[in-house]
Structure 1
């Protein structure tokens, strides 16, 4: 299991990521989708 709590990222004055709680159970897949150059 992967657990993420209170993760954020800010570029200049633009908040681009804000995760309060995220749990990915063992055996599950997770994808992060966004525009090219978005810093994924």
Structure 2
């Protein structure tokens, strides 16, 4: 019998996409916090 190795690439791609979305969300949030701290009003 042959060993069959199955990689679920779709899940890997989804995980990478989610990680990129998370990085973008964190970056945007940090920009908002920085802007709020800079605002003298």
TM class by shorter-chain length? under 0.3
TM-score under structure 2 normalisation? 0.22
Query: More strand per residue: 1 or 2?
Result: 1
TM-score under structure 1 normalisation? 0.22
Query: More helix per residue: 1 or 2?
Result: 2
